[in-house]
Each structure stands twice: as C-alpha cells, then as structure tokens.
Amino acid sequence: MIPATMAVAAASGQTTSGRYVYAREARVARSAALVLDAIVFGFVTAVVNGVYGVTEITSASFSPSGSVMSTTTSVAWPWLTLLGLLYFTIPEAMFGASLGKHWMHLKVVRLDGLPLGLGAVIIRNLLKPIDFLPLLYLVGGVLVLLTPGAQRLGDMAGGTTVVYQRRAPEAGATRTSGRMAARRVLPGVLLAALLFTALFDYFGRPPLLIDGLFKQDALLARDLRSYELGAPTWGFGRVTYPIRGRTATAVCSGSIHLQWQFLGWTESSGSMTCDSS
C-alpha cells in the first residue's frame, strides 16, 4: 500500500507538471484576454480622465499664422497607475480572473499546484507596470512566450501563471468568492463608484474645467498669473463663479459662466476687468 504522504506528493507533482503544459496551452487566449482588458480599461481611463482630469498644454509651436497647441486632459499618472493595479488586482483576488480572463475562460493559479493566496495575486500585479515596459506589454509578452511556465515577471515573483478554467478544478486552486460578494457586494461598490463619478461630473468638475482654461492661458485675461474663485451660483444646467486674479501689473475681477451640455460643462461666457496695481 502507498503511504498517504507519498500519494499526496505524487498528486502534487502531477498537478505541477500539468500546470506547465496548461500554461503554455493558454498563451493565445491569454493574449486575447489582455486585449479585451486593454479595451475595457481604456474606456474606464477615458471616463476618469474626462471627469477628474485637468486640461494642460503638452506642446506648442509658433508660426507667422499663429500658435498651435496640443493639449491633454488627464489625471496625474500615479493615480492612473493605481487605477490600473486595482482594475486587475481586485477581480483576480475575488474571482481569480480579470474581466478579459473571465471572458476567455481563464484563471490565475499557482504554478506549483498549491492553493492561490491573496499575497500571490497582489505581488503578480504590483509588477505589472514593469511587464508593460517599454511599450505594449513587450517585456511580459516575451517572457510568457519564452518561459516554460508562461510566466511574466509578476508571475515569477508571485509563483503564478494563467490556465484555462477547466484545467484548475481543484478546490482552492484559484481565488473564489461567495455568491454574496459576486452578486451584491461588488455590484454595489461599482454602482456607488458610478454614482459618485456622475455627481462629481456635475458638481465637482466646474473648478477643474476653469483650472484647465487657466493652464491653457484661455481664462478671460490671457496673461493671468494666478486666480481664485468665489462661491458659485447654481441654476439648472448652469453655474456662475465670481473670479479674482492677478496679472504682472494688474488686479482683475469678473465672473465666468459655465453651461451643462449633454454630459459635460463648457464655458458659455465671462468677463473680467483689470486695474493696474
């Protein structure tokens, strides 16, 4: 009779050996999942930048016909990086798969056949920004193709890989959450985030829009060096801010009016007078 410990060790060895094969089997589907996640995260990023971002000049050129500027509206890159880490970490910690992996029927597992712990999920995603270097997931993609267990840097550090869901039927092989989390908690959190974003877009975005105009030198007086806003006056689909500012030689005051159009605010009118200081 084979001792129980030997039987367990043999089963673990077979699972580990199989994970190498299953990980390589899932490489094409894993690439497709990455594309799907990139599309979804691109949409999320566009919404976040459009609601919480400030418009700034990225480059400018001057010619006899006038100046040409290119601008971007975005939040600071550390916040976008954090958002990306959360996008992948939270669903993988709860369900063992990001949205893209879920749609491609993939799961994150440990390469050694042991149960997938929360720490391994966090580690594999903390190194994801490095795997994206220098462009388009090049480091991670090359390593997934070349390593025996189809592991990018994050996988190597966390001891993880990605396989088809049917290849990880063992209890604890991947992360799972109960029906309460899947059906109530996560949808509730997402709904709260959407509601907060919608409210911020209406009530919190106007000062960010005005700050963007200032950074583009397009806020009423073009040579303003500083400004401050007073308490706003709200109407249905419109808001007015009293504004004070300074140029190199004058103190200015006036007001700026914003109008809500479809899903965002736009400057509708404004005026400012300046007196030499």
Each residue of 115-162: pLDDT tens digit? 999 999 999 999 999 999 888 889 999 999 999 999 999 999 999 999
Structural domains of the chain, ranges and CATH numbers in brackets: 10-176 (no CATH), 193-276 (3.10.450.630)
pLDDT of res. 10:
43
- How much of the chain is in helix, strand and coil states, percent to nearest 5? 50, 25, 25
Buried b (16+ CB within 10 A) or exposed e, 90-99: ebbbbbbbbb
Please report the pLDDT score of residue 63 as a whole number.
54
The alpha carbon of residue 117 and the mean position of all alpha carbons in its chain are separated, in whole angstroms, by 24
Instruction: State pLDDT tens for residues 173-198.
Output: 999 887 676 667 888 889 999 999 99
Q: What is the pTM of this model?
A: 0.85
User: Which residue, 213, 226, 259, is CA-closest to 69?
Assistant: 213
Is the pLDDT reported for residue 7 higher than 60? no
Distance in angstroms (rounded) separating the CA atoms of residues 44 and 105: 22
CA distance 169 to 189: 29
Confidence of residue 79 (pLDDT cuts 50, 70, 90): very high
pLDDT above 90 for 165? yes
Q: What is the per-residue pLDDT for 9?
A: 42
More confident residue, 52 or 263: 52
Residue 37 in this model has a pLDDT that exceeds 80:
yes
